[in-house]
Amino acid sequence: MPERAVAAQEPRHRDADSEGEAPRDRREEAARRALGARRDQKGYRLRQSDPHVHAAPVPADQGPSHGGGDRQRRGRDGRQPRALHQGVPALGPGPRRVMSDDANEIVQQRRETLEALRARGIDPFGGRYPVTHWARRLAERLGAASEDELKGFGPVSLAGRIVSKRHMGKACFAHIQDQTGRIQLYARADALGDDYACFTDLDVGDFIGVTGEMMRTRTGELTVAVKSFTFLAKALRPLPEKWHGLRDVERRYRQRYVDLIVNADARAVFLLRSRIIARLRAFLEARGFIEVETPMMQPIPGGAIARPFVTHHNALGMDLYLRIAPELYLKRLLVGGFDRVYEINRSFRNEGIDTQHNPEFTMLEFYQAYADYADLMDLTEEMFTDLAQSLLGRLALTWGEHAIDLTPPWRRLAFFDGVSAALGMTVTPETPAAPLAAAARARGIDLGAVRGALGDVPPWKLWKEVFEALVEPTLVLPTFVIDFPIELSPLAKKKREHPQLVDRFELFVGTRELANAYSELNDPIDQLGRFREQAALLARGDEEAHWLDEDYVRALEYGMPPAAGEGIGIDRLTMLLANQQSIREVILFPHLRPEGRADAPEAP
RNA sequence: GAGCCGUUAGCUCAGAUGGAAGAGCACCUGACUUUUAAUCAGGGGGUCCUGGGUUCGAGUCCCAGACGGCUCACCA
């Protein structure tokens, strides 16, 4: 199998050379001159001194004998050439920060190399390359192999990005990196012939395909002895430093592609995230759940309490909201007869941005008919331990300064027990507001924030405030907070034995809420009543109230099986398993303000 | 939205008290056929985030702004 694949993919530049007959020599001659130009740059630059060469804009990809040399000379005589450069109309006054290093010396040199390759008939941006092996698989398979095994292994073809290069005269070492990792290449002048010069002219950052035999160097490193190679993509910009990588946090987020190239730990985080999601799907599918997709643009943003993003549909002439939760649609599917459904996708909340919040975030929501919230506590313990065990191989995690053991069973703390302990008094739904407020104030809670425009503070706002301020910060080990007051849960089922509480839990790990679940309210009359209470709050100007969704009530009127539903924040779950403190470290492209100067006009 | 901190070469970072912008890596030239952050010799490279101000003189001091980070506030 490897033999055939290799035979089929001789290096492209060879093909190109042998296709041309008469022009071949001329092309090679041109290429030699062009490649030589780079080496002779210094002399060339010294010869060129005529200032008028700056007057005309030079195409960005101009060959080495035109644009490159004189542009490089620019910095030498101070600011004047830069002013001329700014005067070039094509570049304009737009936001230049993103592209400002076009004039950089290294970029210019690489453009020249690129043109030299083209002049030689080589396509620097290649095409398909039949890959037979990946770097890490080779290391896994041959890491401990004997010399004889390596010799008998046969040819391998890999493709990837050159991430380091050590030129040693008539031999040259490099590492290429593919999706799985890195492997060393060893190129020899006697093995590559004319192509050797091409190999040593490769820049760190270039993509190549390479074919060769496996070997081990004197220092024991598994290495591909290069027999042939082909250009797949030329890199015009230099990579960050090999030793420190890219440290600037802003650039790591804005240019995640560079972060992923040079920072292996960043790559590992997103690989883990991908595996978490795949494992969750497998976990749910194995239990009979089916994956569905429900609207992200909704006429009524429901299922949670949050400020939505508004967008507009032109043809319909109507505003739509980016969903704040998929909940109400997933429960419509329970009505429709899908007993176990789940969705893994984005929700959007138009609220603050910090280390725990991104405007768009990924949630797993799942619903199981004929189950209740206690079933989901068991399921959640299973799910989390399955993830940790299968992906990390352990249940004992480190998260920042915290040691977190996921071994079940997890603590279960009733909401009012938590509030009572925090305030040093017995608190129930019947406790009057006045002594509650006094006790909260005595513990340093600022009640001004909850009073708002509503005048007197309803007791449940006090409970919530006390819980968030005094209880949540203590919930480091996995804890199910259970039995919430009904006022905080307009979509949850009442407890039979205590109708002022609902069958609900929130899972806290490392003081952060990771999951929220309840036995779903399936009584349409009760649901309509609670929606109306919420609507009244909305009408009084309380933004923290739920919208009334009449079609959802109508759906319940057809009958929804008793069910339990749960939402799990995938970003936060990933943070926990990857030991990351900022949500931006687990989102590939977190939201940032646009880069560039505010006073620069927008590009047309 | 508030407070604190940061922004200097492609990258990572130094630049007391205001007085001619530096290092390492990367890059270029040369040497080097099993190197490992290869080594050795030589060389080039700067809008010190932007705009004002103070000063004989500003990377440094003052004011305003941009972007980012961290703490708050809001939330998941």
The reply to whether the CB atom of residue A583 sits less than 7 A from any atom in nucleic acid chain B is yes
CA of residue A554 to C1' of nucleotide B11, angstroms: 60
Structure tokens at A100: 């400002």
Q: What band does A124 get if pLDDT is binned at 50, 70 and 90?
A: very high
pLDDT higher than 50, residue A35: no
User: What is the dihedral sign for C-alpha A49, A52, A53, A57?
Assistant: positive
CA of residue A104 to C1' of nucleotide B60, angstroms: 27
Structure tokens at A438: 């006094």
Minimum CA–C1' distance nucleotide for A514: B76
What 3-state class would DSSP assign to A520? strand
CA of residue A255 to C1' of nucleotide B54, angstroms: 39
Single-letter amino acid, residue A99:
M
Minimum CA–C1' distance nucleotide for A244: B12
The reply to whether the CB atom of residue A483 sits less than 7 A from any atom in nucleic acid chain B is no
CA A549 to mean position of chain CA atoms: 33
Structure tokens at A442: 């005595």
Q: Indicate left, alpha or beta for A171 from its phi (over 0: left) and psi (-120 to 50: alpha).
A: beta
CB count in 10 Å sphere of residue A311: 11
pLDDT higher than 90, residue A494: yes
> What b/e sequence results for A194-217 when a residue is b if at least 16 CB atoms lie within 10 Å of its CB, and e otherwise?
ebbebbbebbebbbbbbbbbbbbe
pLDDT higher than 80, residue A93: no
d(CA A219, CA A201): 25
The reply to whether the CB atom of residue A151 sits less than 7 A from any atom in nucleic acid chain B is no
Helix axes A550-557, A327-335, angle to 10 degrees: 20
Backbone phi, psi, residue A162, to 5°: -70, 125
The reply to whether the CB atom of residue A513 sits less than 7 A from any atom in nucleic acid chain B is yes
Minimum CA–C1' distance nucleotide for A189: B33
pLDDT of residue A79: 26
Chain-wide mean pLDDT for chain A?
82
> Averaging pLDDT over each range in A4-8, A17-21, A390-394, A458-462, which range is the top one?
A390-394
d(CA A290, CA A273): 21
CA of residue A444 to C1' of nucleotide B45, angstroms: 58
pLDDT higher than 70, residue A268: yes
Chain A 538..557 CB hits on strand B (< 7 A) = 544
Protein CB footprint (7 Å) on chain B nucleotides: 1, 6, 9-13, 24-39, 43-47, 50, 65-76
CA of residue A334 to C1' of nucleotide B48, angstroms: 62
Q: What band does A595 get if pLDDT is binned at 50, 70 and 90?
A: confident
The reply to whether the CB atom of residue A248 sits less than 7 A from any atom in nucleic acid chain B is yes
The reply to whether the CB atom of residue A244 sits less than 7 A from any atom in nucleic acid chain B is yes
CA of residue A73 to C1' of nucleotide B49, angstroms: 25
pLDDT, mean of residues A27-38: 39
Minimum CA–C1' distance nucleotide for A217: B34
Q: What band does A8 get if pLDDT is binned at 50, 70 and 90?
A: very low
CB count in 10 Å sphere of residue A427: 23
- Least confidently predicted of A77-81, A372-376, A488-492: A77-81
> Which of A280, A285, A291 is closest to A387 using CA atoms?
A280
pLDDT digits (tens, 9 = 90+) for A434-492: 888 888 888 877 766 555 444 566 788 888 889 998 999 999 999 999 999 998 898 99
What 3-state class would DSSP assign to A437? helix
Chain A 329..358 CB hits on strand B (< 7 A) = 349, 351-352, 354-358
Q: What band does A233 get if pLDDT is binned at 50, 70 and 90?
A: very high
**What are the start-end ranges of the E strands in A371-453?**
396-399, 402-405, 411-414
Nearest protein residue to nucleotide B46, judged by CA and C1' positions: A75
- Least confidently predicted of A237-251, A324-338, A375-389: A237-251
User: What is the dihedral sign for C-alpha A513, A518, A524, A530?
Assistant: negative
Q: Are A440 and A432 in contact (CB under 8 A)?
A: no
The reply to whether the CB atom of residue A572 sits less than 7 A from any atom in nucleic acid chain B is yes
Q: Indicate left, alpha or beta for A489 from its phi (over 0: left) and psi (-120 to 50: alpha).
A: beta
Structure-model confidence comparison of residues A214 and A52, the more confident one = A214
pLDDT digits (tens, 9 = 90+) for A171-200: 999 999 999 999 999 999 999 999 999 999
d(CA A177, CA A50): 44
pLDDT digits (tens, 9 = 90+) for A500-551: 999 999 999 999 999 999 999 999 999 999 999 888 888 877 777 888 999 9
| pTM, entire model | 0.83
pLDDT of residue A101: 54
- Least confidently predicted of A205-214, A263-272, A321-330, A460-469: A460-469
Backbone phi, psi, residue A411, to 5°: -60, 140
d(CA A267, CA A570): 17
Minimum CA–C1' distance nucleotide for A567: B76
pLDDT higher than 70, residue A596: no
pLDDT of residue A578: 96
pLDDT of residue A538: 80
Q: What band does A6 get if pLDDT is binned at 50, 70 and 90?
A: very low
The reply to whether the CB atom of residue A147 sits less than 7 A from any atom in nucleic acid chain B is no
Minimum CA–C1' distance nucleotide for A464: B75
pLDDT, mean of residues A338-362: 95
Chain A 70..89 CB hits on strand B (< 7 A) = 72, 74-76, 82, 86
The reply to whether the CB atom of residue A167 sits less than 7 A from any atom in nucleic acid chain B is yes
Structure-model confidence comparison of residues A398 and A89, the more confident one = A398
d(CA A122, CA A115): 10
Nearest protein residue to nucleotide B45, judged by CA and C1' positions: A105
ipTM rounded to 2 decimals: 0.93
Q: Are A477 and A404 in contact (CB under 8 A)?
A: yes
- Least confidently predicted of A289-303, A529-543, A557-571: A529-543
pLDDT of residue A92: 31
The reply to whether the CB atom of residue A26 sits less than 7 A from any atom in nucleic acid chain B is no
pLDDT higher than 60, residue A78: no
Q: What band does A99 get if pLDDT is binned at 50, 70 and 90?
A: low
